[in-house]
Structure 1
Amino acid sequence: MNMRPEPAEFIEQPHALSAEQGLLGAILHNSDVIDRVRGIVDPEDFHEQVNAAIFRTMCERRDAGENIDGRLVRIAIGDQDLGGITVGEYLARLYAHATTVSNAPDYARAIRHAAMMRKLLAAARDAVAAMSSGAVQDPSRYAAQMIEELDVVATSGTHESLKRVSLGSASQQAIDAALAAREGRIDRGAPYGIPSLDRMTLGMRPGQMIVLAGRPGMGKTTVGVALALNAAKAGHGVYFVSLEMVAQELGERALAAMSFSPRDKQPLSYRDIAKGKDLTDADVWAMQDAQKRLAKLPLTIEQQSGLTISQIAARARQERASMERKGQRLSVIVIDHLGLVKPTGRYSGNRVQELTEITGAIKVLAKELNVAVLVLSQLSREAEKRDDKRPVLSDLRDSGSTEQDADMVMGLFREAYYLEHKSSQTPEDAMKLEACKDIIEVEVLKQRQGPTGRVNLFCAIHCNAVSELSEY
């Protein structure tokens, strides 16, 4: 039997009425909430007209610099009857039944999703109506119209940083951001926390893929952990994806770094912490003090190994939402390291294509979430064949895509490592080792919008401490 679909006019319109009421109640409790949701939802996205009018009025009051409260909103839209309840009574009910302001972004997204579903339904209904007249016409015209309407919905969930804009709008955005940074109203990105490196690079900027590369023993994880801690100390949310170490090992490094002092004759190393039995009472006190400070930092560790970049992206989105609920903002994702990201299987056996797919997806993730992604990467053995073993761009392993997709590439070099592992040391080698034992070279090999060059930093490798050389 041929079942006819239910007429579109009788299909219930998707809506999120409870989310609309929850969002409005949250704004009545805290006016600042509206600033967090205006980039997500517009008045036109509300299904209930009175809710749309209330939200529009709230936006107008906010733009006028006025506080948002029920009295002002009621005066602005009038206290008409809503079917047994006045606007004033409705606002009072919204205020009384509001749960928590931390759920406001989730409410806003639910409202937006319902609005986009109504658009999809309307587009489908219009297409059916247009093609049901009986006249046979060129279907490409209908298809083009449908594609245009559906594209509006498809891009509605795209982050602002990925949406199409005119050159005029893009240049105005650049001016607005520059003036805001000049006046101290916004940060241009998460800092590395090392002044000389921040001056050369302007920090870890949103949308950037940053590669930190080196041969084994050069201190990739040491520097990666140190930079993540510095960003978190500055108030920036950090999601550290550790594909190599478990969280406890990173915790040992963080404790050593946080408790490090150059005045200590025998500073606490992360190996000392892992071994445990030789710790003094002073060491225990230092660790406990460091732990209290670490507990306050907005830094989360993902310790599951064998993740694909799609899985990392999904978990990063979840972490961003979790941080937003706490009033924090995800600014940096650290991936340790690139060689351990599991390929999808699409290019099984072709390492070049696998890595190309991974680095391309990392760059997309950085732009989608509007965060900096710091990727730790291994350099090829080609560096070992040269007399000067300092890294160059061509040392990046397996594929040119890493160099191509990265906005910045930094290579690490510790001369002390090679001197320590030299088979026969001369007196001159011993002198050189003493002079460079706590020095790590960070070579900016590529920077899309800045200079290349070298920065020498202090690095107590066994304590995971990295800082400005001039401080020691």
Structure 2
Amino acid sequence: MTSEILSAPHSLEAEQSVIGAILLDSQSERAQKVLATLKAESFYSRQHQVIFGAMKSMNKESSPIDGMTVSDRLEREGLIDQVGGFSYLMQVGKGSFSQANIGAYASVIRERAAERYGIQKLNEATELFYTRNGMTAAEKFDAVQMLATQISDYAKTGNRRGARPLIEVMDDWLCEVEQRFDNSGRSRGLSTGIPSLDALLEPKGLVKGSLFVIGARPKMGKTTLYSQMAINCAMREKLPAILFSLEMPDKQIFERMVGQASGVNTDIFYRGSDNDSDFALANGRAMELVESGNLFIDDTPGITLAHIVSEARRIKREKGAVGMVMVDYLTLMTGEKADRNDLSFGLITKGLKNLAKELGCVVVLLTQLNRDLEKRLNKRPLPSDSRDTGQIEQDCDYWLGIYREGAYDENFPQQDTELLLRLNRHGKSGVVYAEQRNGSIYDCDQLAAQRKAADREDKPAKRGGF
């Protein structure tokens, strides 16, 4: 046993050094960077929080910052006594520090703040298991995983979850707007890998935090588009894509992805090929997919929403970010107990939408459509055709239907495909024409495809999707 009382991680010296360096020269490039990135709540000492908060506000107002002006500001706000008066400001301003090292001092403050936040969340996790609150053990483990994700996010960004003042939201928004115009692409939306569809989604692309639903009848190409978007996310966007497949085994998905990445017909893996270069090309592309380290496949049958959330959070912690979480498909998932199937699956779509917001990624959800649409003259799918749930229309940010006339008419070109973007909360909707060949979707000349479609439509008002 020991009587030693552990104090929360902090460094008063680093906090004083940051404040002192800013008081000495607030207009230096290093000081301005610290004022822009460090938050008052990251300071351990309450008086240092108050002082730094005042200096941060003054800097936004372009007011001069020194011992006298900060003291006057605090006195007008009735806070001067909380910080030890003018004498303490002078004491800090004359402290022993190097202004050139202000960035290093700020890093120490952030590190200690992250450690305190971690301790707080771990205490919450411990309390969760001791408390009899009606939650099952599995629900408590899910809650702890959520806390672990919050700790990881805070360590990387310094942002806490919960209600935030508008000034903090504006700061983050301004940073994101600036990043949209740099070449890193960190803050823009994601692409799909199909140029004409990406053009339709411009300028925002697939906005992070969105639920993207793909609906179609069987054999229309849902899984093809799903795996193609995953490859694009991993290889072009350089972000992890997690594929949850309830319909197809992981080896089949991988084989399909190798074919899509290489452009090789996957039949060669069954009957061979007279051209050895096909195997070499396929093997080379397969190694590129593997070496990217950004593709994950989970073919657990009958998975639950909790399983998807748990695995997605784990990948986020391990990789630092997630680009896309992809689910094939909704009605094969095991839902929560509910009076009706539509209510059960509605809970899943809400949960997937929340997961997209939590991880800052795009969740791609495949869904089967009702057979009734095949009784219509115009069989092009609508969001209302989604099977077993009407909640999809309310929860999704994008709804894209896939239609092939060749599935109903053997005389029609079998490769011709229409991608029908019916709902888009962030921009315009419309039709994109594409071709499906050898298990892949290829872009095509949109004007030529439109003219060909118009020539085939005797009554476009009745048969056209839009």
TM-score between both structures, scaled by the size of structure 2? 0.63
Q: Are 1:450 and 2:427 matched, yes or no?
A: yes
CA distance in 2, matches of 1:291, 1:380: 36
Q: Which amino acid aligns with 1:308?
A: T
Q: Which amino acid aligns with 1:249?
A: Q
Pick from 240, 243, 247: which aligns with 1:240?
Answer: 243
Rate the CA distance shift 1:248–1:438 in 2: closer, same or farther, 3 A: same
Aligned-pair CA distance for 1:43: 4.6
Q: Is the 8 A contact 1:226 1:466 kept in 2?
A: no
Partner of 1:181: 180
CA distance in 1, matches of 2:407, 2:442: 16
Rate the CA distance shift 1:205–1:10 in 2: closer, same or farther, 3 A: farther
Rate the CA distance shift 1:322–1:16 in 2: closer, same or farther, 3 A: farther
CA distance in 2, matches of 1:286, 1:113: 48
CA distance in 2, matches of 1:466, 1:456: 9
The Cα offsets for residues 297-352 of structure 1, whole Å up to 9 and x where unpaired, read as 3111112121110111001000111212xxxx3111111111122113x31x5101
Partner of 2:92: none
Q: Is the 8 A contact 1:14 1:115 kept in 2?
A: no
Q: Are 1:466 and 2:456 matched, yes or no?
A: no
Pick from 414, 418, 425: which aligns with 2:404?
Answer: 414
Partner of 1:296: 291
Q: Which has the higher contact order (CA 8 A, sep 6+)?
A: 1
Aligned-pair CA distance for 1:286: 1.9
Q: Is the 8 A contact 2:191 2:198 kept in 1?
A: yes
- Percent of aligned pairs sharing the same letter: 25
Counterparts of 1:99-248 in structure 2 under 5 Å?
A: 111-116=116-121, 160=159, 163-166=162-165, 170=169, 173-185=172-184, 186-201=186-201, 202-234=204-236, 235-248=238-251
Q: Is the 8 A contact 2:403 2:419 kept in 1?
A: yes
Query: What secondary structure does 2:213 align onto?
Result: strand
Q: Which amino acid aligns with 1:323?
A: K
Aligned-pair CA distance for 1:441: 0.8
Pick from 379, 390, 406: which aligns with 1:400?
Answer: 390
Q: Which amino acid aligns with 1:341?
A: M
Partner of 2:74: none
The Cα offsets for residues 166-195 of structure 1, whole Å up to 9 and x where unpaired, read as 556546644542332123343412211222
The Cα offsets for residues 363-394 of structure 1, whole Å up to 9 and x where unpaired, read as 11111111110111111112111111101121
Q: Is the 8 A contact 1:40 1:112 kept in 2?
A: no
Q: Is the 8 A contact 1:223 1:466 kept in 2?
A: no
Query: What secondary structure does 2:119 align onto?
Result: helix
Partner of 1:390: 380
The number of equivalent residue pairs is 344
**Residue ranges of structure 2 left out of the alignment (5+ in a row):** 11-33, 46-95, 100-104, 127-146, 450-466
Q: Are 1:379 and 2:369 matched, yes or no?
A: yes
Aligned-pair CA distance for 1:13: 4.5
Q: Is the 8 A contact 1:332 1:373 kept in 2?
A: yes
* Structure 1 runs (4+) greater than 3 angstroms displaced: 9-17, 38-46, 74-77, 105-111, 115-121, 153-163, 165-176, 276-280, 465-472
Q: Are 1:249 and 2:276 matched, yes or no?
A: no
Aligned-pair CA distance for 1:164: 2.7
Q: Are 1:342 and 2:334 matched, yes or no?
A: yes
The Cα offsets for residues 125-183 of structure 1, whole Å up to 9 and x where unpaired, read as xxxxxxxxxxxxxxxxxxxxxxxxxxxx9997687596434556546644542332123
CA RMSD of aligned residues (A): 4.4
Rate the CA distance shift 1:392–1:251 in 2: closer, same or farther, 3 A: same
Aligned-pair CA distance for 1:439: 2.3
Q: Is the 8 A contact 1:338 1:376 kept in 2?
A: yes
Query: What secondary structure does 2:323 align onto?
Result: strand
Query: What secondary structure does 1:374 align onto?
Result: strand
Q: Which amino acid aligns with 2:316?
A: R
CA distance in 2, matches of 1:367, 1:354: 21
CA distance in 2, matches of 1:294, 1:449: 31
CA distance in 2, matches of 1:154, 1:284: 44
Q: Which amino acid aligns with 2:211?
A: M
Rate the CA distance shift 1:173–1:15 in 2: closer, same or farther, 3 A: closer
Q: Is the 8 A contact 1:45 1:115 kept in 2?
A: no
The Cα offsets for residues 209-257 of structure 1, whole Å up to 9 and x where unpaired, read as 1101101011000011111111211112211111221211011111111
Q: Is the 8 A contact 1:16 1:110 kept in 2?
A: yes
Query: What secondary structure does 1:389 align onto?
Result: coil
Q: Is the 8 A contact 2:43 2:113 kept in 1?
A: no
CA distance in 1, matches of 2:160, 2:214: 24
Q: Which amino acid aligns with 2:317?
A: A
Q: Is the 8 A contact 1:214 1:411 kept in 2?
A: yes
Rate the CA distance shift 1:111–1:468 in 2: closer, same or farther, 3 A: farther
Q: Is the 8 A contact 1:445 1:452 kept in 2?
A: yes
CA distance in 2, matches of 1:279, 1:16: 67
Q: Which amino acid aligns with 1:225?
A: S
Q: Is the 8 A contact 2:215 2:383 kept in 1?
A: no
Partner of 1:317: 313
**Residue ranges of structure 1 left out of the alignment (5+ in a row):** 1-8, 18-34, 47-73, 78-90, 92-104, 122-152, 261-267, 421-429
Rate the CA distance shift 1:156–1:307 in 2: closer, same or farther, 3 A: closer
Q: Is the 8 A contact 2:150 2:161 kept in 1?
A: no
CA distance in 1, matches of 2:432, 2:38: 39
Rate the CA distance shift 1:411–1:282 in 2: closer, same or farther, 3 A: same
Rate the CA distance shift 1:352–1:286 in 2: closer, same or farther, 3 A: same
Aligned-pair CA distance for 1:272: 3.6
Q: Are 1:287 and 2:282 matched, yes or no?
A: yes
Q: Is the 8 A contact 1:41 1:111 kept in 2?
A: no
Q: Is the 8 A contact 1:207 1:363 kept in 2?
A: yes
Rate the CA distance shift 1:283–1:446 in 2: closer, same or farther, 3 A: same
The Cα offsets for residues 95-131 of structure 1, whole Å up to 9 and x where unpaired, read as xxxxxxxxxx99986652214567999xxxxxxxxxx
Rate the CA distance shift 1:204–1:163 in 2: closer, same or farther, 3 A: farther
CA distance in 1, matches of 2:290, 2:165: 44
Query: What secondary structure does 1:270 align onto?
Result: coil
